Amino acid sequence: MFKKLYPDKWVESTYQIDFRNLYEQGYRGIIFDIDNTLVPHGAPADERAVRLFDTLRDIGMDSVLLSNNDRARVDLFNRDIGTKILCKANKPSAKGYRRAMEMMGTDTKTTIVIGDQLLTDMWGASNAGLYKVLVNPIHPKEEIQIVLKRRLEKIILFFYKRRLKKTEALSKRTKA
């Protein structure tokens, strides 16, 4: 029922992802959400974010910041990052994701999406046929429309966790 909203992988933080391993697996481009994925909502890039994008460049990964925010917000974050950007992306529409891949010269097999919201980031990535990683929000302070979406996301994540448990149980029975 909610399959288009489910992530392919769920991790605590963007900063725990092994990007070198992703590169070795053949990924060459990353589409990032900004707010609560890389920094708290509305914040500029911090040292951790700057180091992350330096590391990505060092290993040969390209990136695009795909945001529903306006240009001023994205520019504030990107000032010290210096990556490609797409503002007012209208997520979960697949159009912005496809445009981001064009900008990086990647395709659905070599691009990964990292975001903190099921109803925008994960759904949009599914619409574009991309591998998607859900991260937990960095900070609990959010705009009211996001707070309301988070309530629905809790229900969806309940079913996602239940599905994972069933899959794990089936896998154990198959191996035995």
pLDDT of 159 > 90? The answer is no
42 has pLDDT over 80: yes
Phi-psi region of 87 (alpha: psi -120 to 50; beta: other; left: phi over 0): beta
pLDDT value of position 115: 97
Question: At 4, is the pLDDT very low, low, confident or very high (cuts 50, 70, 90)?
Answer: confident
Mind listing the domains of the chain with CATH numbers?
3-140 (3.40.50.1000)
**Residue 26 predicted with pLDDT over 70:** yes
* pLDDT greater than 90 at residue 120: yes
- Which of 98-102, 137-141, 157-161, 168-172 is predicted least confidently? 168-172
Q: Which residues of 132-160 are buried (b: 16+ CB within 10 A; e: fewer)?
A: bbbbebbeeebeeebeebbeebeebbeeb
24 phi-psi bin (left φ>0, alpha ψ -120 to 50, beta other)? alpha
Amino acid at 9: K
Q: Residue 142: is its pLDDT beyond 70?
A: no
- Residues of the chain with pLDDT > 70: what percent? 88
Whole-angstrom Cα distance, residue 59 to residue 148? 38
pLDDT of 157 reads: 78
The helix, strand and coil proportions of the chain, stated in percent and rounded to the nearest 5, come to 50, 15, 35
At 52-70, the pLDDT tens digits run 999 999 999 999 999 999 9
For the entire predicted model, the pTM comes to: 0.85
How many CA atoms, within 13 angstroms, populate the side-chain half-sphere of residue 65? 28
The predicted structure's pLDDT at residue 82: 96
Q: Which residues pair with 133 in a beta bridge?
A: 9, 114
pLDDT confidence of residue 161: 78
